């Protein structure tokens, strides 16, 4: 069995959450089983240990991107940078606001989190509309970093986020796709 199929079997679908008609893709079962969690992390680490894709920094999006990104950074022996929701970081920040289905949100990054020329892999758990990952990418680029790839466990291609991110020039790596949303 390939890694994608194995991981997909451990993602729980919660119907009608947080709203009727939504099929929520819950990654917590991936984290609860140590064998599955190791497979998940090893899949990302094996990709990013190759010289052409090796980052100098891994950035994770609030909040599930922290779980995956920090462990991947540790395994690669590089630093980890959290991109947080507005108001959660104590030092000087840059911020980026993006549109949600109903309203907007803002994410922040410390101004000293990355340096010009850093090679960054930006990690989150899921790509839906792509807004959060695009905002994170813009923050990193504002500080001079080169986002070499965006990565996520799950892609929901019908929502158009991965297509939008690729059209912007961001390379993407996802492990599993789910039809619908």
Q: For residue 101, is it within any domain?
A: yes
Cis (ω within 30 of 0) for the bond into 18? yes
- Section 61-81 average pLDDT: 98
Nearest to 177 by CA among 23, 21, 17: 23
Question: How confident is the model at residue 181, as a pLDDT?
Answer: 59
**Known catalytic residue: 108?**
no
Domain that holds residue 89: 53-177
Give the model confidence (pLDDT) of 2-28 as tens digits.
Answer: 999 999 999 999 999 988 988 999 999
Q: Both tokens of residue 49?
A: 């240990």
Q: For residue 156, is it within any domain?
A: yes
Structurally, the chain folds into a number of domains equal to 1
Question: How confident is the model at residue 180, as a pLDDT?
Answer: 66
Q: For residue 139, is it within any domain?
A: yes
Residue from 9, 47, 50, 64 carrying the catalytic annotation: 64
Strands annotated E in the chain = 12-15, 23-26, 57-61, 79-85, 93-100, 103-110, 119-127, 146-155, 172-177
Q: For residue 135, is it within any domain?
A: yes
First to last CA, the chain: 25
Question: How confident is the model at residue 99, as a pLDDT?
Answer: 87
Q: For residue 10, is it within any domain?
A: no
Residue from 38, 47, 99, 101 carrying the catalytic annotation: 101
Give the model confidence (pLDDT) of 84-133 as tens digits.
Answer: 999 999 999 999 999 877 789 999 999 999 999 999 999 999 999 999 99
Q: What is the pTM of this model?
A: 0.96
CATH number (domain holding residue 111): 3.40.50.2020
**Known catalytic residue: 84?**
no
């Amino acid at each position: 069995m390939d890694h994608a199929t194995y991981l997909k079997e451990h993602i729980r679908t919660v119907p009608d959450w947080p709203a009727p008609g939504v099929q929520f893709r819950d990654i917590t079962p991936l984290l609860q089983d140590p064998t599955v969690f190791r497979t998940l992390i090893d899949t990302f680490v094996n990709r990013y240990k190759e010289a052409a894709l090796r980052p100098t920094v891994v950035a994770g999006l609030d909040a599930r991107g922290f779980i995956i990104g920090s462990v991947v950074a540790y395994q690669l022996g590089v630093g980890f940078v959290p991109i947080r929701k507005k108001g959660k970081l104590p030092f000087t920040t840059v911020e980026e606001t993006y549109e949600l289905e109903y309203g907007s949100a803002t994410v922040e990054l410390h101004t000293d989190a990355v340096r010009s020329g850093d090679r960054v892999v930006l990690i989150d758990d899921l790509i839906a509309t792509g807004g959060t990952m695009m905002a994170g990418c813009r923050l990193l680029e504002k500080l001079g970093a080169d986002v070499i790839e965006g990565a996520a466990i799950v892609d929901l291609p019908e929502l158009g986020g991965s297509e939008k991110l690729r059209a912007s020039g961001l390379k993407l790596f996802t492990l599993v796709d789910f039809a619908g949303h």
